[in-house]
Structures are given as C-alpha cells and as structure tokens.
C-alpha cells in the first residue's frame, strides 16, 4: 500500500457542530481523546509538523472540530475532535461537547475510523469507554494510541499495553492498540500505516490486520 504524505496536511476549517462540517464525502480519520492525553502532539508527530494541531498548557482549550486536508489526496482528511473529560469548563459545556461528539461519530458517513488517544499511565477512562461504546454501535474501527510511552520503562510500557488489550478483548475485532511517544517518535510508522489502511480502504481489502 502506498503511504500518504501526512506531512503535507494543512488546516481546512473548524466547525462547532456536525451541521457546520465540510461536505460529507471522501474519507476521513478522526482523533479523539482526553484533553491532557497528548492528542495534539500525536497529530503533530504523525504529520511531522510542530503546530498543525495546537497544543496548550490549558487542557480542553480546543472546543471545535478541526479539519485538515492531505495534499495530493482528493477527499482525504484528518479530524481533530474536541478534547474531553479534563477541561475546567461548566458542566453544560461538557455535555454539549459530548452531544456534538456523539452526533459526529454516529452520522458522519465519510468517517473511516477513530484514533483514540490515551495516556499510557491512565488508560480507559470512563469517557474513553463511552466513546468505544459509540464506536461499537456504529461498527466503527478504533485504533488506540497509548501515548507518553517514554514516561515508563520499556517493561512497564509493554505491561500496560497487554493490560489494555486484555481489557478490550470483547472488542478485539474492532479495536487495535499500540504504544506511542510523540517525543521519541515511537510508533509513528505503525500509526501511519493504520491511517493508510483506513483512508485507502477503497482500494485495499480489509481495514484491520
């Protein structure tokens, strides 16, 4: 399978809700995760850019659905979904984010898969499991990045990976998991191959290995 040039990704638009999203055609992959799990850093590492997805010391700052196009690939997009669970915002705002997130995952026809970003030290939060439930309802494949793997010793990181896989056995046909470190660029190639499989799935058989 040819590799897409993710380093060519450029900002397309931001949308506060599904109704304001770009035309629902082509293929896109969405990134979701807790606000302090390293989602923006993961996107920047995958695209080899320092600030494509904005990082902030204030978790939960991103409240819009952000779309990026991959140059030379008609209709291929990466989508940065609002962070969840940690932001110090009113409960009403959190519930609104949840509603828009669920609506996007359930109704977006061009969505081919979700990259769910979790801090390897704090995986499978309540909201992570809620998102997995939404994905299961839609038979939507999910690839989990256990980020900040460099924060653990190799043995501890591998143990955390195995524990997450064990806990997700019921979803093993839909969910795949890997270790990832934006700082060390660990797992970038593996994650890029997963994006390829989804975005180029029209010409390549199975989505999952």
Per-residue model confidence as pLDDT tens digits over 32-52: 998 789 999 999 999 999 889
**Mean pLDDT across 181-192:** 96
Whole-number pLDDT of residue 73: 66
Sign of CA dihedral 60, 96, 102, 198: negative
CA geometry: angle 31, 38, 117, nearest 5 deg? 40
What's the chain's average pLDDT?
A: 87
Is-contact 111 81, C-beta < 8 A? Answer: no
Per-residue model confidence as pLDDT tens digits over 98-148: 888 888 999 999 999 999 999 999 999 988 998 999 899 999 999 999 999
CA geometry: angle 63, 32, 47, nearest 5 deg? 95
Alpha-carbon gap, residue 200 to 112, rounded angstroms: 10
State percent of the chain over pLDDT 90: 64
Sign of CA dihedral 138, 142, 147, 153: positive
Whole-number pLDDT of residue 184: 96
pLDDT category at 86 given cuts 50, 70, 90 is low
Alpha-carbon gap, residue 20 to 15, rounded angstroms: 5
Could you give the domains of the chain? 6-199 (3.40.50.300)
């Amino acid at each position: 399978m040819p590799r897409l040039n993710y380093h060519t990704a450029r900002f397309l638009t931001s949308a506060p809700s599904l109704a304001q999203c770009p035309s629902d055609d082509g293929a896109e992959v969405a990134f979701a995760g807790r606000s302090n799990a390293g989602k923006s850093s993961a996107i920047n590492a995958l695209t080899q850019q320092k600030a494509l997805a904005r990082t902030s010391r204030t978790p939960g700052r991103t409240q819009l659905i952000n779309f990026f196009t991959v140059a030379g690939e008609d209709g291929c997009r990466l989508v940065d979904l609002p962070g969840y669970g940690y932001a110090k915002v009113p409960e009403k705002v959190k519930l609104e984010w949840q509603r828009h997130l669920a609506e996007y995952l359930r109704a977006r026809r061009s969505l081919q898969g979700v990259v769910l970003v979790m801090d390897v030290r704090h995986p499978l939060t309540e909201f992570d499991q809620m998102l997995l439930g939404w994905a299961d309802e839609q038979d939507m494949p999910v690839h989990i990045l256990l980020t900040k793997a460099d924060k653990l010793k190799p043995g501890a990181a591998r143990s955390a990976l195995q524990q997450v896989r064990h806990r997700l056995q019921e979803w093993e046909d839909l969910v795949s998991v890997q270790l990832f470190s934006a700082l060390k660029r660990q797992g970038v190639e593996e994650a890029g191959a997963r994006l390829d499989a989804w975005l180029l799935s029209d010409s390549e058989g199975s989505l999952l290995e």
